[in-house]
Structure 1
Amino acid sequence: MLLSLAANGMAAVMVATGVADPVRRGEYWLAQLHLEQAWQYSEGAGVVVGVIDTGVNSDHPDLAGAVLPGRAFPDLGSGTHDDWGHGTTVAVLIAGRGHGQSAGTLGVAPKTVILPAKLAGGAQSADDAIHWVVDHGAKVVNLSLGGDARTDSEQAYDDGLRYAAEHDVVVVAAAGNRPHDAAVVSPANRPGVIAVSAVDASGTFRDDISVQGPEVALAAPGADITTLADTPQGRVPRQENGTSFAAAIVSGTVALLRAKYPQLDATAVTRRLTSTARRPAGGGRDSRYGFGVVDPLAALTTDPEPPASPRTGWSPWWPAGGAVVIGGGVLCWWTSSRSRRATRGKR
């Protein structure tokens, strides 16, 4: 199965360069999520995050020393070089360390490390990639990709997701983007996966960017995300939208928790995230925000309520009926600014 990628024709917004670094200036989520205070408790040191995406460029100035040797699935001999820049942007949002004097992106977990798995095939390749990153030490897996509900390859995802759960790995996935998608897509809608929707700088759900649905577990910033992006034209400041980036911010938050609380299993980590999230108006869970906007500082410092019942095997932690059996025959990289739509070829 081969993965073909094509831009969706939507131009990214270039950020004008001013006196202050435009990338650092654009990181509104640093203050929105109280990350500087959160870093007093954890910076994600010692945690490996598997990024299954378009690859990661380890020479990015904001990722110096943050990228482990990776692998492509299937191996086409090109290594994990990121020709599109999507996976690199995701990695920077998770583990960016900035560069120079107050320049570049500071990721949510600036002392964590990225294990890249470049996805060059369909759902089976994604399943192989999940197994590989888990076997190579990832305690968090970020899946900023998704599958079309009209196809039938969900079992390929489920095997890898079950393997991750059996090995105490937290899996975070992008919920899907409007207008390309109408509902939460696979693997975000599969059992045990943290599905993430997108909000803006005010913490408001953006229905022009993000899908909604009963599987959504958390929301995170995914609007007007500015990074130093790798593009075919070079490395430039760029502003983008998409649940890919919201998922990356949640994956970084998971890394903070796994570093501070290594004794907690994946379910307990998820419980901390959902119980401390900033609730949507009216309280409770809804289809747009899930349990609320992720709050790294609260997750690191507030003990959750005891669970109502112990964990029993691999099962959805969202309410019964939330999971929908759909497939992944068509993969796309969830970013409304530059969606990478991928169609499975025949063997």
Structure 2
Amino acid sequence: MTRGARGIVGAAVAVLLLAAVALLPASAALAVTDETPAPVATTSPSPTPSPTPTPDPVDPIRSSQYWLEQYGIEEAWETTRGEGVTIAVIDSGVAGGIPELENAVVGGTDMSGVGTSDGRTPLGSTISTRSHGTWVASLVGSRGLADDAGVIGVAPEADILSVSLGFGAVSDVSFSEQVAEAIVWSVDNGADIINLSFTTNQTQWDESWDRAFSYAFDHDVLVVVAAGNRAGGTDVVGAPATIPGVLVVGGVDENGNASEAASTQGSTIGISGPSENLRGIGPSGVVDEWSGTSGAAPIVAGVAALVMSAKPELDAINVINQLIQTADPAPRQSGDRDPLYGFGIVDAAEAITAQLPRIEENPMGDLSRWIRINRSATSDDPGGDITPTPDPVDLPALPPPDPPAQAASPLIPTADSLREVTLPLVAISAAGILLMLGVVAVSRRIRSVRAQLMRGRSHDNSKEITFRA
């Protein structure tokens, strides 16, 4: 090969080497030097990715309970779940045989005379009425199911008393009497909170409720009452929501606005809670969707149980104060206390943590004062707190009692009987006899005069006749 040909071939080889180096990865190109041979390519196993943990499936029923997170209940559960508190559900009865409620209901009774003695037989003439008590109980204290499934109550570790009532024509016992006896029974059997999710649609109430509700207040029991619903015909609150001292609960939708159908209005409303798109367990164990302040009330009652459990040193009126002072203002609330929202919307997390000064009077009113003013016929000062006491009056001493009468024969007249009976009878009889004798004498005189006149007239007539003859 000529020198020129060898030069051409050498140049071509150099070009090919440079091209090969350019095609190598950057790290390999940097490693290649004139002193080190080119590395031999080897294969390495592909890394195995770590498995991504699959999140537990979210139970659709539990996730639908929006109020648990929205109203600070789940946050409050980090401190307490209501242990040590007993809530009486005075309603249509809490059904038995429901797993979520079996360990929650610790006792009960029936006031209608037609239910079972444990209060676990749902009563009512309609399906919704029979389901009502079980719905309410599940919202306030259902235990839920395993794996965070099923309906769970606001205070899932509180105890429940089921007190069944006969609404409407179900019972022959008057409704007022049933409620009064149910409240007293609940207090005597350890209730810390009483939930009443019904209304009478009347502002007044029977006097038996005066004694029953006073009995609850005197024993430091908190009574939570539903305000009622416009859809049910309640335009303004009615008894028991008109009774001073109870905590009346209005209803709001998920946006915090007063519910048009599932709530009402009134000056006695103290606080608001969710009343739409609620979930409750029915007597058959099926989860139902429902609305109304009948559901808002047990949610607030459950929050009250959380406060009592977290702050056992508070009495009932200070628990009420914790709830209303920590309530969140509603978006459309007017003033500190609104006839639609009360003091605002319940906030469980704030209610159990806030440190508030103690109060001595119930911010929801004083029933005993109301009774003094409205049940008394004599009250000179309708706005006063003290019933006026009359000045003492000195009365003359009573005369000494008559000595006991001596026994005597009823056939022998006494001086009293002669004076009071015999003598007046004789006098009247004598006067009657004299009157009769006078009448007889006058009658005889009249007949005598009349006879003489008749004889004289006959004699004159006879003379006239003889003359004419």
What TM-score results when the alignment is normalised by the length of structure 2?
A: 0.60
Q: Which digits, 9 at most, give the CA deviation of each residue in 1:198-235, with x for residues without a partner?
A: 111222211221111110000001101023323xxx43
Q: Which residue of 1 aligns with 2:91?
A: 53
Q: Which residue of 2 aligns with 1:259?
A: 309
Q: Which amino acid aligns with 1:259?
A: S
Q: Which residue of 2 aligns with 1:343?
A: none
Quote the offset at 1:20 in angstroms: 5.2
Q: Which residue of 1 aligns with 2:73?
A: 35
Q: Secondary structure at the match of 1:70?
A: strand
Q: Which residue of 2 aligns with 1:113?
A: 159
Q: Which amino acid aligns with 2:193?
A: V
Q: Secondary structure at the match of 1:247?
A: helix
Quote the offset at 1:261 in angstroms: 1.5
Quote the offset at 1:195 in angstroms: 0.5
The reply on whether 1:273 has 2:311 as its aligned counterpart is no
Structure 1 residues 63 and 173: CA distance shift in structure 2, 3 A: same
User: Residue 51 of structure 1 contacts residue 91 of structure 1 at CA under 8 Å; is this kept in 2?
Assistant: yes
User: Residue 88 of structure 2 contacts residue 194 of structure 2 at CA under 8 Å; is this kept in 1?
Assistant: yes
CA distance in 2, matches of 1:225, 1:290: 21
Structure 1 residues 147 and 294: CA distance shift in structure 2, 3 A: same
Q: 1:23 aligns with which of 55, 61, 64?
A: 61
Q: Which residue of 1 aligns with 2:22?
A: none
User: Residue 23 of structure 1 contacts residue 104 of structure 1 at CA under 8 Å; is this kept in 2?
Assistant: yes
CA distance in 2, matches of 1:85, 1:291: 31
The reply on whether 1:139 has 2:192 as its aligned counterpart is yes
The reply on whether 1:129 has 2:167 as its aligned counterpart is no
Superposition pairs for residues 1-347 of structure 1, below 5 Å?
21-76=59-114, 78-79=116-117, 80=119, 81-83=121-123, 84-120=130-166, 121=173, 122-149=175-202, 153-179=205-231, 180-230=233-283, 234-281=284-331, 283-307=335-359, 310-311=360-361, 316=365
Structure 1 residues 35 and 133: CA distance shift in structure 2, 3 A: same
Q: Secondary structure at the match of 1:208?
A: coil
Quote the offset at 1:158 in angstroms: 2.3
Q: Which amino acid aligns with 1:298?
A: E
Quote the offset at 1:145 in angstroms: 1.2
CA distance in 1, matches of 2:108, 2:323: 28
Q: Which segments of 5 or more consecutive residues in structure 1 lack a partner in the other structure? A: 1-18, 326-347
Q: Which residue of 2 aligns with 1:344?
A: none
Q: Secondary structure at the match of 2:199?
A: strand
CA distance in 2, matches of 1:221, 1:259: 22
CA distance in 1, matches of 2:96, 2:256: 31
CA distance in 1, matches of 2:348, 2:335: 19
CA distance in 1, matches of 2:227, 2:161: 22
Q: Which digits, 9 at most, give the CA deviation of each residue in 1:41-93, with x for residues without a partner?
A: 21110111011000112322211311012100033353321241211111111
Poorly superposed stretches of 4+, deviation over 6 Å? none
Q: Which digits, 9 at most, give the CA deviation of each residue in 1:147-192, with x for residues without a partner?
A: 1317x54322222111100000000000011131111111011110
CA distance in 1, matches of 2:152, 2:310: 19
CA distance in 1, matches of 2:313, 2:224: 20
Q: Which digits, 9 at most, give the CA deviation of each residue in 1:2-60, with x for residues without a partner?
A: xxxxxxxxxxxxxxxxx854421210101111212101121110111011000112322
Structure 1 residues 89 and 315: CA distance shift in structure 2, 3 A: closer
CA distance in 1, matches of 2:183, 2:358: 30
Q: Which amino acid aligns with 2:194?
A: V
Q: Which digits, 9 at most, give the CA deviation of each residue in 1:240-264, with x for residues without a partner?
A: 1110100000110111111121211
Q: Secondary structure at the match of 1:146?
A: coil
CA distance in 2, matches of 1:291, 1:249: 16
Structure 1 residues 101 and 160: CA distance shift in structure 2, 3 A: same
User: Residue 275 of structure 1 contacts residue 305 of structure 1 at CA under 8 Å; is this kept in 2?
Assistant: no
User: Residue 134 of structure 2 contacts residue 280 of structure 2 at CA under 8 Å; is this kept in 1?
Assistant: no
Structure 1 residues 191 and 96: CA distance shift in structure 2, 3 A: same
CA distance in 1, matches of 2:274, 2:182: 26
Higher relative contact order (CA 8 A, sep 6+): 1
Structure 1 residues 306 and 131: CA distance shift in structure 2, 3 A: closer
Q: Secondary structure at the match of 1:52?
A: strand
Quote the offset at 1:125 in angstroms: 0.7
User: Residue 274 of structure 1 contacts residue 291 of structure 1 at CA under 8 Å; is this kept in 2?
Assistant: yes
How many equivalent residue pairs? 296
Structure 1 residues 97 and 268: CA distance shift in structure 2, 3 A: same
Q: Secondary structure at the match of 1:51?
A: strand
Quote the offset at 1:237 in angstroms: 2.5
Structure 1 residues 100 and 277: CA distance shift in structure 2, 3 A: same
What TM-score results when the alignment is normalised by the length of structure 1?
A: 0.80
Deviates further, 44-53 or 199-208: 199-208
User: Residue 154 of structure 1 contacts residue 186 of structure 1 at CA under 8 Å; is this kept in 2?
Assistant: no
CA distance in 2, matches of 1:280, 1:155: 36
Q: Which amino acid aligns with 2:114?
A: L
User: Residue 268 of structure 2 contacts residue 364 of structure 2 at CA under 8 Å; is this kept in 1?
Assistant: no
CA distance in 2, matches of 1:206, 1:315: 22
Q: Which amino acid aligns with 1:128?
A: E
Quote the offset at 1:144 in angstroms: 0.5
Q: Which amino acid aligns with 2:280?
A: T
Q: Secondary structure at the match of 2:286?
A: strand
Q: Which residue of 2 aligns with 1:332?
A: none
